[in-house]
Chain A
């Protein structure tokens, strides 16, 4: 058993290495002076400097962040409302409505993305940032509803009754008791929504017109033309932002069902 435990732990470390080594290699090569990734390694932030004058990438970056922020606001608001309805009321069709949250998560994004392309064309929503935002919110909503719902499921309803017996009006109860207790779940859901949007490639790829893109779409185009350390640099920035958002999320919303 002792040997088995050691082997399992060693395996886990290997898995972590597998997950992180390519990312680290990519990040390191972004600081290498050679445009051909030639070794020996020579530290030079030249590619980061190059980014500052790459207007296409900067525009795409602004679009990505902007869409992610608007997406977060919309998805968190609408998702929290739906989660509240699911938690507070039992009604006909609730189970079906909850099941309907799975298709956006489970169907390959390729299919969803192309389907949006077809439908938006028919109802005359032009390809562009608005269409991309529509798609991102749709993909974020199920996550927000699930995350906020999980928080609501463990919400101690007796504290609201306690507040009422102590003389708090319904509004005082909501503001001073309900809202502060729900905040971690809502913030967690919001961070999820940000991450979903900021990292989304497939949907954006099909809905972005030539010239107006998001960061991942711009990078995809660049990769297909050929690799440059500039791509490493911008990719590293994206990874750092995503992981930063995720670490924040972890602070507000515990994964894994512990505690």
Chain B
């Protein structure tokens, strides 16, 4: 690798410039603009000149309904993340340590295949299962014919199921990557030292896969807290989240500054939670 001298600098700039200029115009400047917007007393849509204010952040503190939404969203994010971990980790373990050869490749592909396919369409597909007369309803009536008609759609569980379905592949993917990096000889060494399966998992396998668990959790928690489309489709009016409130400020009430303030409060809360957990996580992962 060459250290940048004058001659290389031009090449580097020419190669990276276009991509980063693009990112600046479409990501970094917009985020800055949005932060600025959250301090404006009037929506940019109003032609009058606006001045700076903290009133939108104050509104969040003064109106308990938004604090409630924030709590619900964080709780929803936590529930979805934990569900993904409980369901995804054993699946990743099976993929990494039990299944071998061509089957592993095929099943891995099966897991990541929905990962990129349209989230909206996949959320919609759950309405087919959960609606009255849908697959879940039919299945229940096969087992218990006298049960009342089941309507799971537009409920909190439906939102959780939809979000878990959307984000589960993330967890399986990240856990799989760190699990398959564990050398089998380490496991054999633990066994030779007399570790039973339980202890082997608790003391060796799980701690070594922690980076994957944490990466997966972060990748799920952040977008789940900010979700609005899944709660709209699967939760209807009931599963209100902060994400839905932000969407409304931009599409319905056109109160952009308040929507922007809510967005940054949400980002701030998520960031605070991640930062609070970071030191403990880093300590457990020393040497990995």
Binding site for B on A (CB under 8 A): 1, 4-5, 8-9, 11-12, 15-16, 18-23, 25-26, 29, 37-39, 78-79, 81-82, 84-86, 88-92, 97, 100, 103-104, 106-112, 114-122, 134-135, 137-138, 141, 145, 192, 195-196, 198-199, 201-202, 205-206, 216, 219-220, 223-224, 227, 231-232, 235, 238-239, 242-243, 245-247, 250, 255-258
Give the number of chain B interface residues (Cβ < 8 Å): 97
A206: B residues at CB distance < 8 A: 250-251
Known: A199-B117, A201-B118. 13 other contacts (CB 8 A): A12-B95, A19-B165, A25-B135, A37-B131, A91-B12, A115-B34, A118-B30, A118-B256, A119-B29, A121-B44, A196-B116, A199-B118, A235-B125
- Interface stretch (choices B61-69, B106-114, B142-150): B106-114
The interface residues of chain A lying within 8 Å CB-to-CB of B168 are: 15, 18-19
Q: How far is the CB of A211 from chain B (nearest CB, A)?
A: 15
Q: Beyond A21-B129, A258-B105, is A15–B124 a contact (Cβ under 8 Å)? A: no
In the complex, which residues of chain A have a beta carbon less than 8 angstroms from the beta carbon of B186?
A: none
Task: Select one of A5, A195, A201 contacting B120, CB under 8 A.
Answer: A201
**Which 5 A-B pairs rank lowest in CB-CB distance, beginning with the nearest?**
A108-B226, A119-B30, A138-B26, A85-B15, A8-B94
Interface centre among A82, A90, A256 (most CB of B within 10 A): A256
* Given A22-B126, A25-B135, A26-B128, A88-B1 contact (CB < 8 Å): yes
Q: Which residue of A lies closest to B228 (CB)?
A: A110
Is B56 in contact with chain A by the CB < 8 A criterion?
A: no
Contacts of B246 in A (CB 8 A): 110-111, 114
The 8 Å CB contact of B108, one of A38, A138, A255, is A255
Give every chain B residue within 8 A of A201 (Cβ-Cβ). 118-120, 229
Asked if A117 contacts B23 (CB within 8 A), the reply is no
Query: What distance in Å separates the Cβ of B26 from its nearest Cβ neighbour in chain A?
Result: 4
- Determine if B16 is an interface residue (Cβ-Cβ < 8 Å): yes
Question: Taking the nearest CB of chain B, how far is it from the CB of A147, in angstroms?
Answer: 12
B34 and A145: CB pair below 8 A?
no
- List the B side residues contacting A109 at CB < 8 Å: 223, 226
Select one of B98, B114, B222 contacting A19, CB under 8 A: B114
Q: How far is the CB of B141 from chain A (nearest CB, A)?
A: 12
The answer to whether the Cβ of B55 comes within 8 Å of any Cβ in the partner chain is no
A85: chain B residues at CB < 8 Å are 11-12, 15-16
Evaluate whether A12 and B243 lie within 8 angstroms (CB atoms) in the complex, with A231-B124, A239-B121 already known: no
Contacting pair A227 B172 (CB below 8 A): no
CA gap between A15 and B180 in the complex, in Å: 19
* CB closest residue in chain A, given B250: A114
Q: A89-B2, A89-B4, A115-B33 are in contact. Are A141 and B23 (CB under 8 A)?
A: yes
Decide if the interface of chain A is mainly helix, strand, loop or mixed.
helix
Count of inter-chain pairs, beta carbons less than 8 A: 271
Known: A107-B267, A138-B22. A119 touches B124 (CB 8 A): no
Taking CB atoms, residues of chain A closer than 8 Å to B154 are none
Q: Check B113 against A90 for contact (C-beta < 8 Å).
A: no
**Complex: how many Å from CA A26 to CA B118?**
13
Pair A114/B263 contact, Cβ less than 8 Å? yes
Is residue B87 contacting chain A, with contact meaning CB distance below 8 A?
Answer: yes
Of chain B, the residue at the smallest CB distance from A113 is B250
Q: A22 to B122, Cβ gap below 8 A?
A: yes
A8 and B125 form a contact (CB under 8 A)? no
Q: Separation in Å of the B232 CB from the closest CB of chain A? A: 7
Q: Which of B19, B34, B226 contacts A119 (CB 8 A)?
A: B34
B189 in the interface (beta carbon within 8 A):
no
Whole-angstrom CA separation of A121 from B254 in the bound complex = 13
**In the complex, what residues of A have CB within 8 A of residue B229's CB?**
201-202, 205, 220
Q: In the complex, A235 Cα to B117 Cα: how many Å?
A: 10
Residue of B at shortest CB range from A232? B128
User: Which one of B18, B133, B180 lies within 8 Å of A257 (CB-CB)?
Assistant: B180
B220-263 contacts to A (CB < 8 Å): 222-223, 225-229, 232-233, 243, 246-247, 250-251, 256, 259-260, 263
What is the chain A residue whose CB lies nearest that of B259? A114
